[in-house]
Amino acid sequence: MLKLLSGVSFVLLPSCFSLALTQISIPLAQNLMQCTAFATADEYHLGNLCHDLTSHGYVEITSLPRDAANVLVVSTEKSAKEDDPGMIFFFREGAVVFWNVEEKSMKNIMRVLEQHEIQPYEVALVHWENEELNYRIGEGQSKLHKGQILLNSELDSDEVILQKFAFSNALCLSVKLAIWESLLDNFVESIQSIPEILKSRRKVKLSHADVMQKIGELFALRHRINLSSDLLITPDFYWDREKLEELYDKTCQFLNINRRVKVMNEKLQHCMELTDLMRNHLNEKHALRLEWMIVILITIEVLFELARVVF
């Protein structure tokens, strides 16, 4: 212990203790692997994709239960680290999750995937709205703790695949939701000037067709979030698999799925109210225009009758 003139004391740790801490932290960092998720399109052609990937040397994993539908799982020998075999989950909803796959192989798979996408997203948006989690294999029950996944080293390969599927399912929802959040933000930006225009009594430069298109975009986005996805309910697959359901729910909680869906629905509701206001405003203008046309036609008819009587 050293004592300075100010009376503050410092404790010098033994060099062997600090060296031990360093030796512990280095293996932990080396054992960390990466799980990365992307949402690239509205949907995938999984059958054609499977055939294409197997022709490129990837091996399909068929050990998942039958009720784990709408997902394709393949393995690759090109792992980023040797601790765990590389694995990729392709979800029909248009998301892909990579487990310990080297970057070069990921790029090759993404190029193959482009040929089997339905309504692909912009490349910049795909890479901006991705999700990354570190994971490792060790002792203890599998869990997600402080943003890091632990996979139990004592599990057999089939159980590991199921647990990776549960984590991947939640990551799939998160990246899809991130894409929809971006689309909604762009929509909000496109109509954000309208309240000020209405407030200042200026003319809204949107036709009835434009307004109906905006309403259609909103309904399509609302349908994706609330009806055609698993954002609001836990998938049936987990009902009789409590451990997997716990992993899935914990990951969804960590990724704030429920809160983000709630915020999006509130934004959608405000946008719907604004577009309804615009539609009613245009309908009133159209009705007023029709009334004036009727008045003018009646006036013309009266003038013709007067002219016929007089002359």
More confident site: 281 or 51: 51
Q: For 184-189, which contacts have Cβ atoms below 8 Å and span 24 or more sequence positions?
A: 184/221, 184/264, 184/267, 184/268, 184/271, 187/214, 187/217, 187/218, 187/221, 187/271, 188/267, 188/271
pLDDT digits (tens, 9 = 90+) for 77-90: 888 898 899 999 99
pLDDT in tens, 272-296: 888 877 776 666 666 777 778 888 8
Residue 22 pLDDT > 50: no
- Tens digits of per-residue pLDDT, 121-150? 999 999 999 999 999 999 989 999 988 999
Distant-in-sequence, close-in-space partners of 133: CB < 8 Å, separation ≥ 6: 34, 35, 144, 147, 148, 149, 167, 171
Distance CA 15, CA 39 (A): 48
pTM above 0.85, yes or no: no
Q: E strand or H helix at 96, and its extent?
A: strand 95-99
C-alpha–C-alpha distance, residues 69 and 264, integer Å: 27
List alpha helices for 149-204, DSSP H. 157-191, 194-199
Q: How confident is the model at residue 230 (pLDDT cuts 50, 70, 90)?
A: low
| Cβ count near 55 (within 10 Å) | 9
> Average per-residue pLDDT in the chain?
83
Mean pLDDT to the nearest integer, 186-195: 82
Instruction: List, in order of start, the domains of the chain with CATH numbers.
Output: 29-156 (3.30.310.10), 175-310 (no CATH)
CA 123/CA 191 separation, integer angstroms: 25
